């Protein structure tokens, strides 16, 4: 009987762990619980369904100013109650949970990342006792710190842009292939560019008429223009569409600057985004979108400072120096 005890204990322990689609959530308001569940499902889909198992997520009062933590023994994910639900914190702790099973921290890349992350010259280096107590702990923290940026960022940055930090594409490729290996996107398939009738574009703004935009050229002249052909239209009154930025959909985190988000999580969504990579600095901006076919991303589609997004006729359009192109529908 005694020789069967370890197996029985292992089976009993395994029963306490749940896949992310079934993991219980404790202490959260209905709104926060729904947000947590959406992020759990997004993470599960991106790394591979069933690959990450936890005992649950607890919203609690955490000591020492911690925003979250993962307890390896109990596989308990804890988020501080004063913060509600921070998407990057939850993803960081889920990365620790994945690492607890697969020991991804052992890859030599984590030694390099830990050296930079814990360098005394880096102002935001982790200083808590758990993360700094050993070389192994530092490598585990380095793994989770870069993993928290998420699947979209990893795949977007795997192709180098001119203004990226030198090491970025290699690091992003590793995370895309080893961690977020189940994530996929449909490449952006834009229409032929629509040329501005003025030869240059200052601002393109949608109107309440789905097929009409207003073009304000560099001389502050206003033109009403057909969205799809660029043809000038009669100067009838077309009320401007009231635009609002929106929060990113589940699974899109690690953003350094996402002020140019347009759309909604339940419709066409696109953003020009810059990702923050700890001691490496920030990435060059990328465009990502979420349309009817899921995430859409053009590898290596680096953006320029003058590029802008706008929604029109239930799609997302990219405005550039001489015209505009439909990106996401």
Q: Walk along the chain (329 residues) in steps of 10 and give the mean pLDDT of each run.
A: 48 69 93 90 93 94 83 92 77 95 95 91 82 89 91 87 89 95 77 75 82 82 86 80 67 52 60 79 79 61 74 80 78
Enumerate the domain spans of the chain. 17-151, 184-329
- CA distance to 65, 127, 136, 137, 165, per residue, from 133 (Å): 18, 10, 8, 6, 29
Sign of CA dihedral 165, 171, 175, 181: positive
Between strands 323-328 and 315-319, the pairing is antiparallel
Quick check: helix, strand or coil at residue 149? Answer: coil
What pLDDT, on the 0 to 100 scale, is given for residue 111? 94
Q: In what order do the strands lie in the sheet with 25-26?
A: 25-26, 56-60, 76-80, 68-71
Radius of gyration of the CA atoms of the chain, in A: 23
Cα–chain center distance at 59: 22
**Contact by Cβ (8 Å): 116, 278:** yes
| CB environment 43-61: b (16+ within 10 A), e (fewer) | bbbbbeeebbbbbbbbbee
Distance CA 154, CA 158 (A): 6
Q: What is the pLDDT of residue 82?
A: 76
| 229 three-state secondary structure | coil
How far is residue 328 CA from its own chain's centroid? 17
C-beta separation of 287 from 298 below 8 A: yes
- Sequence-ordered list of residues with C-beta below 8 angstroms from that of 208, at least 6 positions apart, any chain: 238, 239, 240, 241
């Amino acid at each position: 009987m005694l020789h069967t005890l370890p197996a029985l204990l292992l089976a009993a322990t395994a029963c306490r762990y749940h896949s992310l689609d079934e993991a219980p959530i404790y202490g959260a308001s209905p709104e926060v619980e729904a947000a947590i569940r959406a992020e759990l499902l997004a993470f599960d889909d991106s790394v591979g369904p069933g690959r990450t198992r936890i005992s649950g997520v607890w919203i609690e009062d955490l000591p020492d100013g911690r925003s979250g933590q993962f307890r390896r023994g109990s596989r308990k994910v804890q988020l501080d109650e004063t913060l509600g639900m921070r998407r990057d914190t939850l993803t960081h702790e889920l990365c620790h949970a994945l690492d607890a099973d697969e020991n991804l921290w052992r890859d030599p890349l984590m030694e390099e990342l830990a050296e930079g992350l814990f360098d005394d010259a880096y102002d935001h280096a982790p200083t808590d006792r758990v993360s700094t107590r050993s070389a192994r702990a530092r490598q585990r923290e380095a793994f989770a710190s870069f993993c928290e940026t998420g699947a979209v960022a990893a795949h977007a940055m795997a192709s180098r842009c001119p203004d990226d930090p030198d090491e970025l594409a290699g690091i992003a490729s590793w995370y895309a292939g080893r961690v977020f290996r189940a994530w996929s996107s449909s490449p952006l398939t834009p229409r032929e560019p629509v040329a501005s009738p003025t030869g240059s574009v200052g601002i393109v703004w949608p109107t309440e008429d789905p097929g009409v935009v207003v073009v304000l050229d560099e001389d502050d002249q206003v033109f009403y223009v057909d969205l799809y052909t660029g043809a000038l239209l009669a100067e009838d009154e077309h009320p401007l569409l009231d635009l609002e930025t929106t929060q990113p959909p589940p699974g899109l985190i690690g953003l350094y600057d996402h002020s140019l988000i347009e759309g909604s999580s339940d419709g066409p969504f696109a953003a020009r985004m810059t990702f923050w990579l700890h001691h490496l600095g920030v990435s060059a901006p990328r465009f990502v979108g979420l349309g009817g076919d899921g995430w859409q991303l053009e590898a290596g589609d680096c953006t320029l400072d003058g590029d802008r997004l706008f929604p029109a006729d239930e799609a997302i359009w990219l405005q550039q120096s001489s015209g505009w192109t439909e990106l996401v529908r």
